[in-house]
Amino acid sequence: MQLLDGKALAAKIETTVVSGVKELKDKTGLVPGLAVILVGQDPASAEYVSMKKKACDRVGFYSVTHEMPSDISQAAIENTIKMMNNNPNIDGILIQLPLPKHIDTTKLLELVEPSKDVDGFHPYNVGRMVSNLDAFLPATPFGVMRMFQEYGIELSGKNVVVIGSSDIVGKPMASLLINAKATVTVCNSRTKDLKAHTLAADIVVIAVGVPLLLKADMVKDGAIIIDVGINRLDTGKLVGDADFESLKEKCSHLTPVPGGVGPMTIGMLLKNTIKAAKLREKRETK
Ligand code: NAD
């Protein structure tokens, strides 16, 4: 079984981002800037934001985190987004999800200036992605596609099952796979016989948030498994949505958790942010 090492690949991507930052700075004096909006006290969200901030520091980005209490008003978050849209030092804006229930998330995502939408969640970028046009791609599925590329995994003509159909992982993952000419099936919590689908898959991408849901008896010999899930058990241990221990004997390629898709998500966010900075530089020098 070949382990798909997201940690090593993300480190490689960071190195290219570091050179990109240096080149941009030397040429134009610009430093890429990322603004993160973090609402409430959810420990997982706080941890993800802290990891993103550390990654920005490592590659030499300017970054700012707007921390807001969980009872913050919709209007106050909207004002912060508008400020960041107009701030010339900010190239990328990221709203850490999920947000508290009283907040209209869709409205906020639509307010982000599409050229600063480094999470790729604005309908403008979603539409362009679906149409296979240049766009900011959502970092997690973008990272999975980069892993396929790195490990020479051919997608054209393959049967791929995506388990989970969220706007941030499952749906964009399916779009990118369709654009790569895979035959894609998307399953969700209402899918009648999940195993029947996964047994027919050459590749399974699972993003559901259910610890160890995908077991060895659900996949065929030599399948490729991408585990997007990150679940913390009561014991404190981090596990994915796939049962690594049983699957490692059966599949040909497998991502570990941690150290698989997670670091790739951060790597692709950095990539999107430097892309946004370069596009700004291009616009300003026109
Ligand atoms: P979500 O809750 O928004 O969506 C979950 C999806 O899984 C839904 O479509 C639901 O119908 C489906 N689902 C739930 N139970 C199922 C079941 N038993 N069988 C089939 N489908 C089922 O979740 P999300 O935001 O897409 O995140 C999914 C997982 O991925 C979580 O563990 C999350 O922490 C993780 N995640 C990881 C990264 C990363 O960087 N690695 C990024 C985002 C999310």
Task: Say how many Å lie between the CA of residue 231 and the centre of ligand 1.
Answer: 10
Task: Say how many Å lie between the CA of residue 166 and the centre of ligand 1.
Answer: 7
Task: Say how many Å lie between the CA of residue 259 and the centre of ligand 1.
Answer: 18
- Residue 214: per-residue pLDDT: 98
With 90 as the cut, is the pLDDT of residue 70 above it? yes
> Measured between alpha carbons, how far is 35 from 70 in angstroms, rounded to an integer?
18
Task: Say how many Å lie between the CA of residue 188 and the centre of ligand 1.
Answer: 9
Mutate to test the pocket of ligand 1, among 169, 264, 269 (most ligand atoms within 8 A of CB): 169
Mean pLDDT of 11-15: 98
Mean pLDDT of 227-256: 97
Q: Work out which ligand 1 atom sits closest to the CA atom of 257.
A: 41
Q: What is the mean pLDDT of the chain?
A: 97
Q: Work out which ligand 1 atom sits closest to the CA atom of 188.
A: 21
Task: Say how many Å lie between the CA of residue 155 and the centre of ligand 1.
Answer: 22
Ligand 1 atom 19: the closest Cα is on which residue? Answer: 189
| Ligand 1 contact via 267 beta carbon (within 6 Å) | no
Catalytic residues, by residue number, are: 52, 96, 119
| Ligand 1 contact via 96 beta carbon (within 6 Å) | no
- For residue 79, name the pLDDT band (cuts at 50, 70, 90): very high
| Ligand 1 contact via 168 beta carbon (within 6 Å) | yes
| Ligand 1 contact via 194 beta carbon (within 6 Å) | yes
Task: Say how many Å lie between the CA of residue 208 and the centre of ligand 1.
Answer: 3
- Residue 167: per-residue pLDDT: 97
With 90 as the cut, is the pLDDT of residue 187 above it? yes
With 90 as the cut, is the pLDDT of residue 34 above it? yes
Encode pLDDT of 194-210 as tens digits: 999 999 999 999 999 99
Mutate to test the pocket of ligand 1, among 109, 194, 230, 233 (most ligand atoms within 8 A of CB): 230
- Residue 286: per-residue pLDDT: 74
Ligand 1 atom 3: the closest Cα is on which residue? Answer: 166
> Measured between alpha carbons, how far is 267 from 142 in angstroms, rounded to an integer?
10
Encode pLDDT of 92-128 as tens digits: 999 999 999 999 999 999 999 999 999 999 999 999 9
- Residue 191: per-residue pLDDT: 98
